[in-house]
Homo-oligomer: A and B are copies of this chain.
Amino acid sequence: MIKTIGILGGGQLGRMLSMAAARLGIRVHIYEPQSQPPAGDVATRVFTAGYDDVNALRAFAKSVDIVTFEFENIPAAALDIVEAITPVLPRRNALEVSQDRITEKHFLQAQSAAVAPFVQVDTLADLQAALGVVGTPAILKTRRFGYDGKGQVRITALDQAEEAFASLAGAPAVLEQMIPFEREISIIAARNANGEVACFDPGENVHKEGILHTTTVPASISHALQTDAVLLAARILNALDYVGIMGVELFVTSDGLMVNEIAPRVHNSGHWTQDACLIDQFEQHIRAIAGWPLGDGQRHSDAEMTNLIGDDVNQLEEWHNSAIHLYGKVEVKSGRKMGHVNNISPISA
């Protein structure tokens, strides 16, 4: 029986995973290089150490029954050390796929999932050739370490190539065609070690300056597309023999669904589940990795989640009748996710 879970990463996702574990009577130890991490306030123990600190990683791994993570860019060497002592879920094949945009796209294509046309870019010459294949508008993205619109630049004309390439400072990259999508949705799916899959209803996402702004549930999509999203998510999870929650971001196009990216962890676009489902994405993840049966993913209410970015967190007046979730971050910074709010309403359909 899993009594203590270790979480690599102490941000807001780790914080909300910790609270979900606590609801199930499970203790949490957090591993995080930065001091005063948001998750530390709701964890039994915090290891403050770097991902290159072999002794701290070992002590952390020994102190828990299982390890999970709240972000995908965990150094492989750190995982090696932890995995030698304690099982890590989701398994690292999911990390390997999602850490590199090109590996991810190849994996998705192998699952018959549509992805935007893309070309690998290592040199300026690569980029210029790629623009000939992909056309404009296009997006140049670093293969690794991108999040919240960071590490990517839009290219609308061929003469922007040089500047765009320079902006990535030599990082290996990929050029993707910009897809004229009707809407962006995401589906949050869970799978346990028995191969059972449960999905939350797809949410519709609106971004602002590269950062998720709102997720609305239900998404304005047909029942057929909703089914497609579920089947696609299940195919991806099954292919990875995945255990835990995964976020799958999808474009709705005139040709059907296209995968934007996958995230092998709880996902910002799944925060609405906290107040519109009896068992939310955080608890579902804990249930999956701790070997508990999954919740069925049913929602009891329609929902809209709005992120509180930077100074939004100091303007809570309009949200007082909403469910407010603040992350306890010590410093407010422009562009930093400080919290989110959920509003719910009776199910419309």
Contacts and interface: CB of A to CB of B under 8 A. Distances in A.
Interface of A: 15, 18-19, 22-28, 40-44, 275, 278-279, 292-293, 295-296, 300-301, 313, 320-329, 339, 342, 344, 346
B278 A23 contact: no
B275 A278 contact: yes
Given A278-B342, A300-B346, 17 more contacts: A15-B22, A19-B22, A22-B41, A22-B42, A23-B326, A24-B326, A25-B313, A25-B326, A25-B328, A26-B328, A27-B41, A28-B41, A40-B44, A41-B43, A41-B44, A295-B321, A300-B344
Contacts of A346: 300
Nearest to A274: B23
A18 B43 CA distance: 11
Contact of A328 (B27, B278, B327): B27
A344 B278 contact: yes
A42 B19 CA distance: 7
A323 B279 contact: yes
Counting every copy of the chain, the complex holds 2
A278 B323 contact: yes
Contacts of A25: 313, 326-329, 339
Question: Which of A24, A42, A43 counts the most chain B CB atoms within 10 A?
Answer: A42
Nearest to A280: B323
A292 B320 contact: yes
Given A42-B18, A300-B346, A322 B24 contact: no
A204 to B, nearest CB: 21
Contacts of A339: 25
A133 B41 CA distance: 55
Most B C-beta atoms less than 10 A away, residue of A40, A279, A324, A339:
A324
Contacts of A329: 25
A296 B25 CA distance: 29
> When A and B form their complex, which 8 residue pairs have the shortest distance between CB atoms, in order from nearest?
A25-B326, A293-B320, A25-B328, A42-B42, A41-B44, A22-B42, A278-B323, A19-B19
Nearest to A36: B44
A25 B275 CA distance: 17
Contacts of A325: 23
Contacts of A18: 42
13 contacts: A18-B42, A19-B22, A19-B23, A22-B41, A22-B328, A23-B325, A24-B324, A25-B329, A41-B42, A275-B278, A292-B320, A295-B320, A300-B344
Contacts of A342: 278
Given A19-B42, A44-B41, A321 B344 contact: no
Contact of A321 (B26, B27, B296, B313): B296
A278 B322 contact: yes
Contacts of A313: 25
Nearest to A301: B300
Nearest to A19: B19
Nearest to A320: B293
A295 B344 CA distance: 14
A15 B320 CA distance: 23
